[in-house]
Structure 1
Amino acid sequence: MSSSLRVYRHLGVRYLLLTIGWLSVLLGVIGIFLPVLPTTPFLLLAAACFMRSSARFYDWLIGHPRLGPWIHDYLDGQGIPLRGKVYAISLMWSSIALSCYLVPMIWARGFMLTSAVLVSLYILRQKTLPARVPHP
């Protein structure tokens, strides 16, 4: 798996990506237990950051028995859980709405709203992962 990774050589970029990656792992794990945080988007962000900063951490995350399946479902084209889609879109639009309220520049509002629409369309176009039946 790690042979196809593109790890940045610039040390500052690698440390920034590692920091964002580990913060995303932390938020993703918290999201497993708290319904207000989406798990899948944070773990996908962590995987993307680790893919570009550390083959070792990327392999660890992808191979993790609890966290890996969240990422594999998306990477294998099986989709994103409905809960992850709802939370990602809800949190994004909430933050965009607050930002549009706080930022008086019309061009910035237009940029934020356009970005939110495009990201929402991307998320909605992804397959929705069927609900898993818990094993006894």
Structure 2
Amino acid sequence: MIATTTLVRGVFLLLGLVFTLLGFVGVFLPVMPTTPFLLVAAACFARSSTRLEAWLLAQPHFGPLLRNWRDHGAIPRYAKWLSLGGSSLGFGMFLLAGPSWILALVVGAGIAAAMVFVFSRPDV
């Protein structure tokens, strides 16, 4: 039983580190999201390392967003609009590649569903 608990904590720790790395890569690459990866990383650290969870939540740029999500399920209004703008820009660039209408419809529906979810969350 102890070995299983240690193994599970190790897996969550490894996943937290990987998602943190992906989140920080997303800061510099416009096609990679940042916050969703850091949200998953914080959840993984909550199950494996309270020290790393506290470090992530204390980050000046991302900590408040992560804490608002964890405590209230809330997204700041400016982040919602940035999300809509970035998704719209990305979808426009996708359309310039000339996808089939079915693929464009599926991708557009996925983006629309994501935006409905984002805008349904409470404001901070």
Is the 8 Å Cα contact of residues 22 and 34 (structure 2) preserved in structure 1? no
Name structure 1 gaps, 5 residues minimum: 31-36, 130-136
TM-score of the aligned structures, taking structure 2 as reference length? 0.67
The percent of aligned pairs where both chains have the same amino acid is 12
Change (3 A) 1:8 1:125: farther
Note the 1:27-106 alignment, pairs <5 A. Answer: 27=27, 42-49=34-41, 51-52=43-44, 55=49, 56-62=51-57, 64=58, 66=60, 67-77=62-72, 79-106=74-101
1:85 Cα deviation from its structure 2 partner: 0.5
**Structure 1 residue 78 displacement after superposition:** 5.9
Where does structure 2 lack aligned partners over 5 or more consecutive residues?
A: none
Other-structure match for 2:108: 113
Q: Does the aligned pair in 2 maintain the 1:96–1:113 contact within 8 Å?
A: yes
* 1:29-67 C-alpha deviation (Å, 9 max, x unpaired): x8xxxxxx8xxx7334313135347735433102x1624
The one-letter amino acid of 2:75's match is I
| Aligned 8 A contact 1:79 1:128 in 2 | yes
Contact 1:20–1:49 under 8 Å retained in 2? no
Shift of 1:83: 0.7
Q: How many residues were matched structurally?
A: 110
* Larger helix percent: 2
Q: Give SS of 2:99's match.
A: coil
Q: What TM-score comes out, normalization by structure 1 length? A: 0.62
